[in-house]
Amino acid sequence: MTIRSNKKTKAEVSLQDPIGVDKEGNEISLLDILGTESDGVVDEVELKIQIRKLYQKMSKVLKSREKMVIELRYGIAGCGSKTQREIAKMLGISRSYVSRIEKRAINKLHKAFESND
């Protein structure tokens, strides 16, 4: 029976188990290699919260064309960021009109964030 129970735990690896030795002779564990700074995790969570807030504000405050221009311009929609000229060509409008739409949308978002924070 103990052989069967040992088989189950045989594949398990602890983060504190030593996996080797560094140049100075100190043992290295998986935790040393895989470990992240706690600040990095906090920063990532904070970034995700800010992104969610941005999407909420964009949906609430911007018109569909303004939202599209901001998403394309800054690569928010998952595709890479595009130039004003590329966006203008896609939408069949002038580059200067894209610039005006972008500026208006950013001002709306700025005011929306300013009023709630």
Rg (CA), the chain: 25
The Cα 79–Cα 72 span in angstroms is 7
Contact yes or no for 92/82 (Cβ under 8 A)? no
Give the chain's domain count. 1
Give the percent of the chain with pLDDT over 90: 42
The Cα 85–Cα 66 span in angstroms is 16
Q: What is the mean pLDDT of residues 95-114?
A: 94
Structure tokens that stand for 101 in this block: 């739409």
Note whether residue 101 is domain-resident. yes
Model confidence at 2, pLDDT cuts 50, 70, 90, reads low
pLDDT of residue 105: 96
Higher pLDDT, 112 or 36: 112
Note whether residue 82 is domain-resident. yes
Q: Where are the beta strands (DSSP E) in 22-78?
A: 27-29
Note whether residue 83 is domain-resident. yes
pLDDT digits (tens, 9 = 90+) for 36-76: 565 667 778 888 888 888 899 999 999 999 999 999 999 88
CATH of the domain at 67: 1.10.10.10
Domain residue limits at 83: 57-116
Note whether residue 34 is domain-resident. no
Note whether residue 45 is domain-resident. no
Note whether residue 41 is domain-resident. no
